[in-house]
Chains A and B, each alone.
Chain A
Amino acid sequence: MNPFETLRFAVGGLAANKVRSALTMLGVLIGVAAVIILLAVGNGSSQSVKDSIEKLGTNSLTISSGGGFGGGRGASSTSTKPLTVDDARALADPSSAPHVKSVAPEVTTSQTAIYDGTSHTVGQVVGTYPAYFEASNSKVDKGDYFSADDVLNSRKVAVIGSTTATDLFGTVSPVGKKIDIGGTPFTVVGVLATKGGTGFQDPDDTVVAPLPTVQNAFTGFGSISQILVEATSADATTPAQNEITTVLMGTHGLKDPSALDFRVSSQESLLSTQSDTNKTFTVLLGAVAAISLLVGGIGITNIMLVTVTERTREIGIRKAIGAPRGVILGQFLAESTLLSLIGGGLGVVAGLIGSHFRIVGIKPVVIPESVWGAFAVAVAIGLFFGGYPANRAASLRPIEALRHE
């Protein structure tokens, strides 16, 4: 018996029960495709988060109120002073913070915008200074930014994100139009370029307006949400961070650098926490996928067991006319390997095709190792789990097999 003949016997065996063979292959197919697609989704989401964080700019720092990283330490400070516009002004002083290029205090709120009867809940209404645009890497696509003059005069002007623009205006150009945000009329002066990316908040669903205008209309003139700082260069973020800490300890009257009531985070640190979350996400998806692959493998075992039991008489006949154990073992092994090879191969194809579609807003990015890994695991499962019933069948004495009912 040469390998070609063993293969021919195996194909014959599979063809004898097409529906069952097809269903088994489907099990493997789904397992392999699930591994490839789910891992690609996990990978795609971490990639897009990375991209969108990089889009924010790598030399910007964000100052927010509360304890530093490490948790719980903020509680030890006697009082937590909120961030104010004065803090931002202190940071803008080039003599005390030479590595700071620009400072943009931010207040954020969520409001409903209405234009011509169309209403849209804006994810983020930001009140800030013009420096915000550069520090947050937000570029205007149509129209213009608002100016420092608009801030000084608390003009009711706004730059809107691309999602907000399409939701409110559709194909109409928003520039120069008046929209109503939370009861206050704003004139749209510009539309931001699409940032894209994923995450739980669409970065393009935003309205950016002068700080005093937003404070006046919605948040009041008390504390601000955060301060966005741009360092002079990407290398200057660390000295800038130190300068910011020193200045704010002064304005907040703090002595102990281990008990701060604010925290300064760079995009880099954001990036690492985000990618950690994403890794967990990917691992979870991978586990789900691995389970489905295992279930596919159990399917093969089950089918091989049933096939062998059903064909025990045939095995007896073959042994009676002199089929050696190895040949019978080979035939059944070849059958299960073929099942898993074809099922796995189709699974790879299905997985690669499936990865071309957006899944829950994420563009999957295929991990090449997952393709090889899933395929190899499928084939290994076929060999291993197919081998067990095949071995059982081949070990039967001919008469035992022939008497089998």
Chain B
Amino acid sequence: MRLGLGRLDALRGRTGAHRRADGPAPEAEEGPWGPPPVIEVRALLKTYGHGDATVRALGGPPDPLTGASPGVDLLVEQGDLIAVMGSSGSGKSTLMNILGCLDVPTSGRYLLDGIDVGGLDEHQLSLVRNRKIGFVFQSFNLVPRTPALAQVELPLAYAGVKSAERRRRALAALELVGLADRVDHRPNELSGGQQQRVAVARALVTAPAMLLADEPTGNLDSHSTEEVLSIVDRLNASGRTVVLITHEDEVARHAKRVVRLVDGQVVSDVRQAPVDGPPPALRDPALFRAAAPQALTGGAL
């Protein structure tokens, strides 16, 4: 396992530069060109099916002259909190699955932390998913019949962490999401909000460079939504890069940057807060809360 990670670092050509310490705050590495982007996507294209039945899930319609799709370009800086918005079927999940290394693009380049993911083999990809990415799904996707603690320990088990250490870190992660008193509960004994918080704990327990969340609050009521979002805010404030998909403005309000997708293409990219510094919700909590109703009524109109 460790050897494998070494190989990854070697691939990147800067051995150990991005191996983060256990603590949540990564020491930003200021090279001559500033910190490298966590995510760099160039001309990304994803199609399903063949011939007439081809569905362009990502990359936009083909250019009438050249027949080639423009593809999606996206740069995500370290420490950013990005909301990807768009109507249903606009390709948000498709993009997210590729970013999470759960799926492969039809064409285009994807550099994660400077590594070209397209050149990684199956085993290296599993290492990337384990160490660099924390993925949260709309449908929670907890392992059935497995208690919360074991659930959160799972990524550490796959990383080869010793049992005592694993337990300690899993408990810390559950504490962070406020579920220290639910460690022995199985998914079917938890509410939706609690399940999603277990999923968040599981995603962040390996201290990944970034957290990807595909409509994490899509199945939650407003109270649970607030709980999950406040965890996301705190994580981002401590330096973790977060990309989340949503179609609720209420959720997008928490982001430092909002990217809108239409038909598999980026149509707008708005920065709401600087990359450095706390996310909007923590910048001035009182004001943020006070602005909430207006954002709901006036902001959306």
Residues of B within 8 A of A12 (CB): 145-146
- In the assembled complex, A319 has its CB within 8 A of some CB on chain B: yes
- In the assembled complex, A49 has its CB within 8 A of some CB on chain B: no
A320:B102 contact, CB within 8 angstroms? yes
Q: Chain B CB within 10 Å — which of A5, A320, A321, A397 has the most? A: A321
- Complex Cα–Cα for A167 and B243 (A): 92
A398:B144 contact, CB within 8 angstroms? no
A321:B123 contact, CB within 8 angstroms? no
B142:A321 contact, CB within 8 angstroms? no
Question: Chain A: which residue is nearest B141 at the CB level?
Answer: A317
B160:A325 contact, CB within 8 angstroms? no
Residues of A within 8 A of B122 (CB): 325
**Residues of chain A from 152 to 193 with CB closer than 8 A to chain B in the complex:** none
- Complex Cα–Cα for A336 and B159 (A): 24
Contact with A along B123-143 (1 / 0, CB 8 A): 100111111000101000111
- Complex Cα–Cα for A259 and B157 (A): 85
B144:A321 contact, CB within 8 angstroms? no
Contact with B along A255-266 (1 / 0, CB 8 A): 000000000000
Q: Chain B CB within 10 Å — which of A16, A323, A324 has the most? A: A324
Which of the residues A314, A321, A397 comes within 8 Å of B202, measured between beta carbons?
A321
A322:B141 contact, CB within 8 angstroms? no
Contact with B along A329-348 (1 / 0, CB 8 A): 00000000000000000000
Question: Chain B: which residue is nearest A9 at the CB level?
Answer: B157
Which of the residues B97, B103, B135, B160 comes within 8 Å of A321, measured between beta carbons?
B135
A322:B102 contact, CB within 8 angstroms? no
A398:B158 contact, CB within 8 angstroms? no
- Complex Cα–Cα for A314 and B144 (A): 7
Which of the residues B137, B143, B203 comes within 8 Å of A314, measured between beta carbons?
B143
- Complex Cα–Cα for A62 and B123 (A): 77
- Complex Cα–Cα for A318 and B126 (A): 10
- Complex Cα–Cα for A209 and B2 (A): 91
A397:B129 contact, CB within 8 angstroms? no
A322:B143 contact, CB within 8 angstroms? no
- In the assembled complex, B104 has its CB within 8 A of some CB on chain A: yes
- Complex Cα–Cα for A318 and B101 (A): 13
- Complex Cα–Cα for A326 and B158 (A): 10
Residues of B within 8 A of A360 (CB): none
- In the assembled complex, B78 has its CB within 8 A of some CB on chain A: no
B155:A322 contact, CB within 8 angstroms? yes
Nearest-CB distance from B242 to chain A (Å)?
17
Contact with A along B89-112 (1 / 0, CB 8 A): 000000001001111100000000
Residues of B within 8 A of A326 (CB): 123
- Complex Cα–Cα for A131 and B129 (A): 92
A323:B158 contact, CB within 8 angstroms? yes
- Complex Cα–Cα for A92 and B20 (A): 107
B103:A317 contact, CB within 8 angstroms? no
- Asked whether A317 and B155 contact (CB < 8 A) given A1-B160, A325-B126, A398-B102, the answer is no
Contact with B along A306-322 (1 / 0, CB 8 A): 00000001101111111
- Complex Cα–Cα for A397 and B98 (A): 12
Which of the residues A1, A5, A402 comes within 8 Å of B141, measured between beta carbons?
A402
- Complex Cα–Cα for A313 and B141 (A): 8
Residues of A within 8 A of B127 (CB): 322, 324
Q: Chain B CB within 10 Å — which of A1, A318, A320, A322 has the most? A: A322
- Complex Cα–Cα for A323 and B142 (A): 14
Residues of B within 8 A of A320 (CB): 100, 102, 129, 135, 141
B154:A318 contact, CB within 8 angstroms? yes
With A317-B143, A319-B102, A321-B155 known, 11 other A-B pairs at CB within 8 A are A12-B145, A319-B129, A321-B135, A321-B202, A322-B126, A322-B127, A322-B206, A325-B122, A327-B158, A398-B129, A402-B137
Residues of B within 8 A of A (CB): 97, 100-104, 122-123, 126-131, 135, 137, 141-146, 154-155, 157-160, 202-203, 206
10 closest Cβ pairs, A-B complex? A322-B130, A324-B126, A399-B103, A398-B102, A322-B129, A399-B102, A321-B155, A317-B141, A323-B158, A322-B158
